[in-house]
């Protein structure tokens, strides 16, 4: 398997006996190459010395006076955040334990970019052996915001940062306009909808400097109408729907981080007269599902933002709260009014109706 997602430096990590990720000095050293910590022309002598010292020994103690000597306040804060991350990871022992403990804290001070990189690294581990390109692209939703576009009845997710970059560079500002160029041979900076024809290219979606380009658009459409006879049609479930790939990734996420076996199925709608438990995978879907559960009115514009629904079932009902054992858990996925989707994978770890363990 090619070393995809090189930004998370997965190859520098080690594993414990349970297959959890152990932070290593070599892996921590890679963080110093990130834009938040890399040296620039304006870096003062104190920052240069600190950077080189941490490069040589990423585990070395850094006295407060050494940080205070940095002239640039932003650089000083970035190093403080990195050291807090480093020390927290070493105290937790594994990336998985650190990630779970992070969201049990009353206040999270770590910047989102660092949290997302931890999530990416854990997902890289889950996908290492046998993932297909659809699962890998779906996994990006767990750590990279997406922009949702409806095109000819299809629900498409494009990487938000990539779209913004293309727009700033004078390219197309909207996903639909980019995809309208599909009949023209695509240049390296343009987007492609992930399909069975180009799936092999996903693993090599890197720029000349080895950075990730995130050019592939994920089709989240679950069903399309299929004509059976004149005037008669029925929904046809797509075999390579991005929602199906996302469901498999989410199930592996729960299995790895919580040690619980679940099956997650994408659905077109919720049909449950005994609806008891739901959770949103983002803030928007949480609010929509809450309103639907309480029989509050939800207008068509908000419902249209609901791009995915899922049914989660526990393999072992005793893993659930006693009064809910055997019942499904409904999941939602939605974009906000601006078409931005920010999936929060921690919701799936914190909000399931788990049985209390003594």
- Domain count along the chain: 3
| 48: enclosing H helix or E strand | helix 45-56
Within a domain: 46: yes
Within a domain: 59: yes
Within a domain: 234: no
Mean pLDDT over 92-107 rounds to 94
- Picking from 225, 259, 275, the residue at the C-terminal end of a domain is 225
From 154, 136, 157, 135, select the one nearest 146 (Cα to Cα): 157
Identify the pLDDT of residue 168: 61
Claim to verify: residue 11 and residue 117 sit in the same structural domain: yes
Claim to verify: residue 122 and residue 147 sit in the same structural domain: no
Within a domain: 208: yes
Claim to verify: residue 112 and residue 139 sit in the same structural domain: no
Claim to verify: residue 294 and residue 188 sit in the same structural domain: no
Claim to verify: residue 95 and residue 118 sit in the same structural domain: yes
Claim to verify: residue 197 and residue 255 sit in the same structural domain: no
Within a domain: 45: yes
Least confident stretch, 70-74, 95-99, 178-182, 209-213: 178-182
Count of CB atoms situated within 10 Å of the CB of 94? 20
What's the pLDDT band for 188 if we cut at 50, 70, 90? very low
pLDDT digits (tens, 9 = 90+) for 253-310: 999 999 999 999 999 999 999 999 999 999 999 999 999 999 999 999 999 999 999 9
Give pTM, 2 decimals.
Answer: 0.91
Claim to verify: residue 98 and residue 154 sit in the same structural domain: no
- Picking from 225, 256, 286, the residue at the C-terminal end of a domain is 225
Helix/strand/coil (H, E, C) string of 226-250? EEEECCEEEEEECCCCHHHHHHHHH
Identify the pLDDT of residue 229: 60
Instruction: Domain of residue 210: give its range.
Output: 134-225
Claim to verify: residue 339 and residue 320 sit in the same structural domain: yes
């Amino acid at each position: 398997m090619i070393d995809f997602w090189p930004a998370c430096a997965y190859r520098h990590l080690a594993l414990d006996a349970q297959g959890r990720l152990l932070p290593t000095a070599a892996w921590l050293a890679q963080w110093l190459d990130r834009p938040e910590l890399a040296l620039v022309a304006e870096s003062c002598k104190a920052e240069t010395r600190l950077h080189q010292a941490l490069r040589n020994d990423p585990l070395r103690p850094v006295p407060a006076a050494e940080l205070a000597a940095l002239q640039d306040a932003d650089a000083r804060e970035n190093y403080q955040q990195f050291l807090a991350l480093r020390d927290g990871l070493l105290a937790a022992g594994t990336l998985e334990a650190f990630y779970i403990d992070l969201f049990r804290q009353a206040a999270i001070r770590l910047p989102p970019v660092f949290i997302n990189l931890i999530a990416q690294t854990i997902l890289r581990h889950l996908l290492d052996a046998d993932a297909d390109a659809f699962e890998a692209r779906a996994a990006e939703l767990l750590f990279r915001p997406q922009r949702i576009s409806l095109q000819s009845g299809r629900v498409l997710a494009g990487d938000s940062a990539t779209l913004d970059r293309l727009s700033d560079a004078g390219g197309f500002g909207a996903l639909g306009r980019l995809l309208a160029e599909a009949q023209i041979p695509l240049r390296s900076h343009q987007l492609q909808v992930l399909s069975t024809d180009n799936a092999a290219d996903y693993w090599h979606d890197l720029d000349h400097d080895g950075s990730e380009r995130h050019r592939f658009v994920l089709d989240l459409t679950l069903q399309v109408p299929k004509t059976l006879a004149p005037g008669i049609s029925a929904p046809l479930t797509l075999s390579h729907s991005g929602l199906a790939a996302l469901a498999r990734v989410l199930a592996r996420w729960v299995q790895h981080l919580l040690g619980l076996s679940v099956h997650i199925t994408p659905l077109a709608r919720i049909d449950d007269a005994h609806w008891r438990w739901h959770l949103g995978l983002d803030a928007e879907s949480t609010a929509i599902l809450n309103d639907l559960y309480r029989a509050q009115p939800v207008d068509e514009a908000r419902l249209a933002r609901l791009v995915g629904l899922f049914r989660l079932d526990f393999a072992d009902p005793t893993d659930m709260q006693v009064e809910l054992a055997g019942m499904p858990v409904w999941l939602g996925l939605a974009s906000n009014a601006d078409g931005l989707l920010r999936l929060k994978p921690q919701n799936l770890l914190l909000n399931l109706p788990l049985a209390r363990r003594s």
